[in-house]
Each structure stands twice: as structure tokens, then as C-alpha cells.
Amino acid sequence: MWDWLVDEPTWAYWIPACVGILLLLLTAYTQRAVYLLGVLALAAVMGLVALADYLVVTDREHVVHLVQDIVAAAQQQHADGILNHVADDFRSGPIDRALLARELHQHLPRVTRVRPGKLVVEKASDSSGFLAQLNIAFTGTYDGQVGESAPLLIEMRFRRSPNGQYQMYTAEVFDALGKIRYWPR
């Protein structure tokens, strides 16, 4: 319910800060200390917003942490760490969860470096969950050759599973030309 306040609270800092600066200017101009009480009250409000931002983990922030966990598992070549966040009914074109698991166990050990880039997580347009877009590149070996992937964009969709946790239920990988590549190939 209060996600709008703690998810991106930048405006909740700027508005009180600007009003506080105005109150400080009024204090200097009128030479009345009563305006300092307003500054103290605004500082307390900003402190409460910071505390709420620190303590409350919104659904969007939870999905951000899940994607970061998936990237960390890929960097450690830990296929099961990735699969922990994949729904049983996962689909990506012709790839289902079982095929994804086989492909990850087969190909992930060849990945020597994972370079994540920009991550954007937003509520899905159909309100069924969240859409995460991650720019990423890989370096790996194949048949004794070291190669580097072109930058890829992975679009992952997350929804809440029956146990209350968010899981990835679909993903698409786009190459630099915007063409869909079924992953992890």
C-alpha cells in the first residue's frame, strides 16, 4: 500500500528539504527562531522516510534482489542457484524448465565471466507481476576457444507463486539487433 513512498522516495526527501531551506531563509530574514522548529520537524519527517525506506522491502525491491541473486549464481556457475528462482511452469519459446535446467548444467560451467549491466524492474502492464530487463554479456569457452557474447537484453517476468515467493515464469533474450534468441544458447 505504501510502496509509492518507500520504493522511490527521492521526492519525499526533496520536498521537505526545499521547504526546510525556505524556513531557514525565513529564519535568517526575520531573525525569528520559531521557524527553526519547522526545520526540525521536517528533518524528523525526512528521518522517518529514510527509516521506512531502509526497513521496508517492497515487492519491486524483492524482485531486484532476486535478479541480483540469479546474476550472482551465474557468476559462480551455480545452475541450481538460478533454478531456485525459476517457476515449475517456466516457458521461454520452446524452452521449458527441464530443458533450461539441462542447458544450464551443461553450458554454465563454460562461462568464465558474467558482466551485468543496467537493470530495470517495473510492474508488468497486466499487473500480474513484474518485468525485469537486464543488460548482460558473457565470456566463456567452447571447444577450446574463448569467446565473448554480444551485449544481450534479458526480459524476465516474475509472478508470485502459491507459496508467496516471486519466481521467474518466462524470459526472452534479445541480441544487439533486437532479435529473440532462446536462451541460454
Q: How confident is the model at residue 149 (pLDDT cuts 50, 70, 90)?
A: confident
* pLDDT exceeds 60 at position 2: no
Yes or no: is domain 59-181 CATH 3.10.450.50?
A: yes
Percentage of the chain modeled with pLDDT above 90: 46
* pLDDT exceeds 50 at position 184: no
* pLDDT exceeds 70 at position 132: yes
Amino acid 23: pLDDT: 92
* pLDDT exceeds 60 at position 1: no
Amino acid 40: pLDDT: 92
* pLDDT digits 0-9 by tens, 164-181: 899 999 998 888 777 776
For residues 85-101, average pLDDT: 92
Q: How confident is the model at residue 111 (pLDDT cuts 50, 70, 90)?
A: confident
Specify the amino acid at residue 104: L
* pLDDT digits 0-9 by tens, 11-67: 888 889 999 999 999 999 998 889 999 999 999 999 988 888 788 888 888 999 999
* pLDDT exceeds 60 at position 5: no
* pLDDT exceeds 50 at position 7: yes
Residue-range domain boundaries for the chain: 3-55, 59-181
Name the pairing type of β-strands 180-181 and 166-174: antiparallel
